[in-house]
Structure 1
């Protein structure tokens, strides 16, 4: 079964006659008829009834055409992918990101990237850092942005960003009156905390212990965005990534500086022993341009 026969069959089914199919394929009508006859011999059943010069699809031909259409759709996609690879070095770019940067840094970077490469497909997922690391290490994603507590075995790593932590406070809370909140100020305060394995959570616990402060941990969550939503609901205060507060600040939530050395470090990871393609490099450059 050769591609010429499949193309001839698809063209006749799509255009109704061998004459029109020949015009579309830019060959002669006898070439189309010969290709279809050869295809029928290869597959072992008739695709058309020949009736007074007309070619009427058989029932088997109709069934076969359904799969041919699927194959041609895939072939069209392959041609498009080949064109993108030819023009841009890669037909797609796949990025997986920690939650804290998924609603701010990533959308801004992708917007910049797509203005330059509107035909390059972008796949973007938000995952826990450990899951993101596994996806990049396995070659399923080209770039990952992960928290610094993640195991970096099996990936290439660079420091992407180091953002100073802030504290999110419900509107009307007594701490709203302070310009800067210190660890000692959290003694006895309801606190929405990040998960125990989070590096920032561990640094916060060390700072609280040094200050002799014991807050009331009312909830735990792995995501700064979720902390912000819970703080806005009045459940407690929370130490969060500064990039997650934009949509909440002034909308039921107040953001204050937190007097400590606590920061959220983000690592950029890529698959090992595989230099980034040109488009992946340009997406990374876009990320670097909006990370501040």
Structure 2
């Protein structure tokens, strides 16, 4: 069987015209090249070169074989170029599914900057509820997801990114805006915009108020933190929402304050459990975590040091 080294030697001689220069390009000795050519001739069953006045003259058979060799090497060059583009993130596609709280606050600028750094990469960003994000990742319809809920699903792996308490948001003219932190008892009878029942954190919020025996005036429910903020801006009441969304509404004039007792909220990445994480996904999620840490200033934890936790 013909081997690749024999073909490389043949191609080098055809290109360089002499055994000496061919040996130099291959970083081997001249006898080694001559031996490879002789082995190839035995394999193919015909002569490849004739010597004339100290020069190597390719035979017609060698010229015909060289055309095939060049076509093969062009294919190899394309494979090499493709591998280089993949390695350097110059080609590819990144499919992301994300909870609206991040899709509407943190991710637009981050995705734009990431895409600018990697212009060959196409980013697809879909905003869904955390439950739907989980379903998309579990069925491998996307490369990674970002959620804000606890999960138990053997089809996905969970990578905790940042854990930070919920914030209470209110208009700047609100009676509680002057306080540095808000206790649950401060909200007795307060008009309240609540996250909907399907939100993972909703039962926890309800339990905090029940344990404290504090009655809220439950005016409106909504599934999205951003909609809750818009309702608060319109004067519908106060609301407890995730900290990234609260931060993103600073420029809209909303005031957010720490709430006691603290209600933890964890942002997590979810990945398909039985598929290796690509370098592209790893870089993107690392950037998401760094931005969240910078935005919310939690304890520093790098994505590279966090191993996905498979749920059983």
Name the TM-score class by shorter chain.
0.5 to 0.7
Question: Which aligned pairs between 1:18-29 and structure 2 lie closer than 5 A?
Answer: none
Which residue in the other structure is 2:176 paired with? 175
Question: Which aligned pairs between 1:34-183 and structure 2 lie closer than 5 A?
Answer: 84-85=85-86, 87-88=88-89, 91-183=92-184
CA 1:260–1:279: 2 relative to 1, 3 Å = same
Structure 1 segments unaligned to the other structure (5+ residues): 1-79
**Aligned-pair CA distance for 1:256:** 1.5
Structure 2 distance, partners of 1:161, 1:204, is 19
**Aligned-pair CA distance for 1:91:** 0.9
Q: Under a length normalisation based on structure 2, what TM-score does the superposition of the two structures give?
A: 0.63
Which residue in the other structure is 1:235 paired with? 236
Superposition RMSD in Å: 2.3
Which residue in the other structure is 2:279 paired with? 278
CA 1:89–1:155: 2 relative to 1, 3 Å = farther
Structure 1 window deviating more from structure 2 (244-253 vs 152-161): it is 244-253
**Aligned-pair CA distance for 1:191:** 0.3
Which residue in the other structure is 1:20 paired with? none
Structure 1 contact 159–268 (Cα < 8 Å) conserved? yes
Structure 1 runs of 4+ off > 4 angstroms? Answer: 80-84
Q: Secondary structure at the match of 2:275?
A: coil
Structure 1 distance, partners of 2:219, 2:89, is 50
**Aligned-pair CA distance for 1:251:** 3.5
Structure 2 distance, partners of 1:214, 1:180, is 19
Q: Secondary structure at the match of 2:262?
A: coil
Structure 1 contact 90–277 (Cα < 8 Å) conserved? no
Structure 1 distance, partners of 2:139, 2:260, is 40
Give the total of aligned pairs.
213
Structure number with larger C-alpha Rg? 2
Which residue in the other structure is 1:288 paired with? 289
Structure 2 segments unaligned to the other structure (5+ residues): 1-80, 294-312
Structure 2 distance, partners of 1:176, 1:250, is 16
Structure 2 distance, partners of 1:225, 1:152, is 27
Question: Which aligned pairs between 1:202-213 and structure 2 lie closer than 5 A?
Answer: 202-213=203-214
Q: Under a length normalisation based on structure 1, what TM-score does the superposition of the two structures give?
A: 0.67
